[in-house]
Amino acid sequence: MKRDTARAIILTEDEKEIYLLYRKKKENSKIITYYAIPGGMIEENETVEDAVKREIKEEFSVEIELLGYLGSNKTKQGIDYHYHAKIVSGIPKLGGEEKENNREDNYYEIRKIPLQELNKEEINILPVNIEYIEKAIKKDYKKF
């Protein structure tokens, strides 16, 4: 089944940190940890822009403004669309399914990570995500 997603790179106002979703979950009796760019599935009859705004409101309990489209990448499941966004109202706190399903073996936490720490080994984030973060910092936007 195709699973297209929409994600938002959200930097702090001073652009020195990024909001990421820290994940710790049990998979095949092993605990894995990683960081993810917030966002999620695009629902039927929903625009990519509406999906990313809805997902961030659900996950982070904030309203965002989209600053620019950063690009997309194909995965085995579908297409991941990435946007640069800023918070226009609210203070990030866990909400939605992430809050409801949050437990020791399926843990979610919103974290602010200093940009200079993103390439450190303990910050397990996909390399493609680092590329989109770099584009957001440079405001290297594309046409959708």
Q: Which residue has the higher pLDDT, 18 or 75?
A: 18
Q: Can you give the C-alpha Rg of the chain in angstroms?
A: 15
Q: How much is the pLDDT for 92?
A: 97
Task: Give pLDDT tens digits for 22-57.
Answer: 999 998 889 999 999 999 999 999 999 999 999 999
Per-residue confidence band for 119, with pLDDT thresholds at 50, 70 and 90: confident
Contact 7, 13 (CB under 8 A): no
Tell me the mean pLDDT in the region 84-109.
Answer: 95
The closest alpha carbon to 9, from 140, 142, 137, 144, belongs to 137
Q: What is the mean pLDDT of residues 99-110?
A: 94
Are 87 and 8 within 8 A, CB to CB? no
| Size of the chain, expressed as the number of residues it contains | 144
pLDDT of residue 98: 94
Residues 6+ apart with CB under 8 A from 9: 18, 37, 70, 82, 83, 84, 85, 132, 133, 136
pLDDT at res. 138: 96
Cβ proximity of 62 and 90 under 8 Å: yes
Which residues, in sequence order, are CB contacts of 29 under 8 Å at separation 6+? none
Fill in the amino acid letter for 139.
K
pLDDT band at 1 (very low <50, low <70, confident <90, very high): low
Please tell me the least confidently modeled range out of 5-19, 100-114, 124-138.
Answer: 124-138
CA distance 61 to 53: 10
| Assigned token pair, 47 | 């625009």
What is the reported pLDDT for 47? 97
pTM of the model: 0.92
Q: How far is CA 143 from CA 53, 76, 94, 106, in A?
A: 18, 24, 31, 36
What is the pLDDT at residue 44?
Answer: 92
Average pLDDT over residues 106-118: 95
58: its two tokens: 């659900």
